[in-house]
Chain A
C-alpha cells in the first residue's frame, strides 16, 4: 500500500486523544469493562468519539477538530462528563495517569477485536505490557512539507511535553523513580523512537515505500514514533505524553503544543538537521526519569540547563503566539505549574505519602478525574 496523500487540514487546529483507565470501585484495580462502557456510550451523543484500546480495561476518547484551547476544554469536559456518568451506571471508576499503579500486566485481557488479537500474537507479552495510558495531540498543518518541518522542530520540545504530563511513577505496585515510567514500555517496541530525518513529503514517501517493501510495516499505524505525520488527517501527532490526571491539564498541554506550533510555522526559527537528534534520546530519558529537574541539552548550542528552565523560557518566547491563539491563560497556568515543579508524578507521590496505600491513590485519581 503506497503512502496516502497528505489531506488538507486547517493549520493549527487541534485534536486531542486520551487513553483512560477503567478500575473497579472495590480495590481500584483495572477491570476489563471497556465493552460495557462503550455499549452505554454508543447510545449517547458525544462531542467526539470513544473507542476500545488493546486491553479491555482501557478506553480511548478523542475530540472532534478543536479551534483553540477553550474549544478543546469544552469538548474534553463534555466527553469526561458523559464518561463519568456512564461509568457511574456501571459502578466503575475512571482515571487519568500514564500507568495504573499496581495492576499486573499478566492479568489483562486483550479486547476482542481482530486487530488487537493480531497485535497480541505479534508482540506477545509486550501487548499486555502495553496497558499504559497516553495523550496524543494532533496539530493541523498547512502542507505536507510544513508538517515535516514542524515535526523535526517540535522534537526538541519532546522533553517539555513529557515532563509536564508525567504521571506514571508507579508500575506494578512499586515506585520506579521515574516521573514517566510509561514511556519505558513504549521503547520496547521495535518501531518506536523518532521519525527518520527527511524534510520533504516526497522523500518521506520514498522512505515509506522502502519500509513497506521490506514487509516490516503495512501502514503508518505500524510506526510507534514519538511524533508522526498523520496524512489521513493532514496533521502531525505528538504521542509522548502520559494521560494527565485531569482533562484541564490535557487541554493546557494541547494549548502549549499549539502555541509552539504557531511559533514554528510563523517564525521558522530553526534549521532542523540530523544532528539535532544527537541529544534527543538523552533529553527524553532525562525528562522521563527526573521530570522538570532533568537536564536539557540544547541541540544547537549544546548548552545544559534544567528542563523546567527550558520550558519557562519557551513559554516566554511563544507568549505572543499563545495570545493570538487565546491560549495565554492556559500557558500562564502551565507556567505556574512548572515554576512550582508540579506535575502528575509529584502529585501521585504526595498522595501515596499521605495515604500509604496505592489502592487509595487510585481512588483519589478517580476523584481528581471527575473534576
Chain B
C-alpha cells in the first residue's frame, strides 16, 4: 500500500526531467552570457549543451539526442517554414545577380572545402560529403540572431534568402550523394535512383500539401493571435511527424511550403516569431542538443581539420558574395558582412551527418567527426560574428 502513495527512494524521474534540466541550464547560460559579456544568448545555449554533453560533464549523451530527435526536427521545421516565407522568387527575377551570387558562393564553398579535404588525405566520398554539408548555412542561428537583434535591411534579407537556398542546395545534393552511395557501397543502382527521387519528390509534394493546408486554415484563423498560432504550431508538428513516418527529410518540405505560400499569396504572412513561446522553447532546445552531440573523441579526430575548414569555408562564402556584391547592389561593407553572416553551421549539418551515420556507419563516422567539430565551434563563434556584422551594417534595432 505504502508504495502506492509514497515515493520510492531514490525517487524515479520521468525522462522529461532531463529536458527540464537542460532547458533550465540553457536559459541560465543564455542570460549570463547576454548580461555579463553581452554576447548572443544562443552562444550561451550552445555552451550549456557542450557542458552538459559528453564533451565535459557527460550528463547527456548521443542516446538522448536520438530520443529527442523529433524536437530537433520540429525546431528546424518551424525555422525553415518561417524562412521560406521570406523567400520571394520575384526578387530573383528583378535581381538575377542575387541568384548568381548564391550559386557562386555555394559553388566556391563546395569546391574549396572539397580541395582542402582531399589535401588532408580524405577519400573522395568523405571529401564530397563534407563539402556538401559545408554549403549549408544554419537557419537556426541566422533566424535567431535576426530575432535577437531585431535586424532588418538588405544584409538581413539577403542573409535569409541565401541561407534558404543553401539549405536547399545542401539537402538536395546530399540526397543525390546518398543515392550514389547506395550504388557504390551496395551496387544497387535501382535504389540509388529511387531513394533520392523519393526523397525529393516526396518533399516537394509534402511541401505543397503543407502550403495548401496552411492556406485553408488561414481562412478560418488569424495566425497573429494566440489561438491561431496554436493551430499553426499543431500543423507543423503533425507535418513533421508525418514526414518522419514517411522517412522523408523533415527539412525540405517545410521550407518549400513557406516558399510556396509566399509566392502564391502575396499578403503579409505574420505570426509571433517561432510560433510563440512553445516554438521559442523548442528552438532553444535545438541549440542545446546540437551542443550535446560532440564528444572528446570527435574533437581529437577532426578538430584540426575542422578549424582549417571553418576558415576556408568562411573565406569562400565571403569571396563569393563579394565578387558579385557590387552588381547585386551591395556596398563592399555590406557584401563582406553578408559573406560572414552566411558562416553559421549547426542543426541542418548535424541532421545530415547523423542520417548518413545510421545507414553507413563507417563512412558516417569519419565525416561526422569533422562536421560535428565544425558545427560545435561555429555554434559558439558564428552567432557572435552574425551579431557583429548586423550591427556593423546598422541593421539592428536593439533596445
Contact = CB atoms under 8 A, between A and B. Distances in A.
Interface of A: 24-29, 31-33, 35-36, 39-40, 56, 85, 88-91, 107, 109, 112, 355, 357, 359-360, 363
Interface in B84-100: 85-86, 88, 90-91, 94-95
Given A32-B153, A90-B154, A109-B394, A27 B270 contact: yes
Contacts of B397: 107
B268 A28 contact: yes
B266 interface: yes
Contacts of A357: 267-268
Nearest to A356: B222
Contacts of B154: 33, 36, 90
Given A26-B86, A36-B329, A88-B95, A360 B267 contact: yes
Nearest to B150: A107
B157 interface: yes
A82 to B, nearest CB: 13
Nearest to A30: B152
B326 to A, nearest CB: 10
Given A32-B394, A89-B329, A107-B397, A24 B152 contact: yes
Given A32-B153, A33-B154, 5 more contacts: A26-B268, A27-B270, A29-B152, A85-B94, A357-B268
B153 A359 contact: no
Given A109-B394, A363-B268, A91 B88 contact: yes
Given A32-B153, A33-B153, A359 B268 contact: yes
B124 interface: no
Binding site of B, secondary structure by majority: helix, strand, loop or mixed? loop
A277 B31 CA distance: 60
B258 to A, nearest CB: 12
A24 B85 CA distance: 13
Given A25-B88, A90-B329, A363 B266 contact: yes
B123 interface: no
B331 interface: yes
A69 B299 CA distance: 73
Which of B152, B270, B328, B330 has the most chain A CB within a 10 Å cutoff? B152
Contacts of B90: 88, 91
Nearest to A363: B268
A40 B329 contact: yes
Nearest to A88: B94
A324 B5 CA distance: 99
Interface string B368-394: 000000000000000000000000001
Nearest to A107: B397
A360 B88 contact: no
Which of B85, B86, B90, B153 has the most chain A CB within a 10 Å cutoff? B153
Interface string B314-350: 0000000000000011110010000000000000000
23 contacts: A24-B152, A25-B88, A26-B85, A26-B157, A26-B268, A29-B152, A31-B152, A32-B152, A32-B153, A33-B154, A35-B331, A36-B334, A39-B331, A40-B329, A90-B329, A91-B88, A91-B90, A91-B91, A91-B94, A91-B157, A355-B267, A363-B267, A363-B268
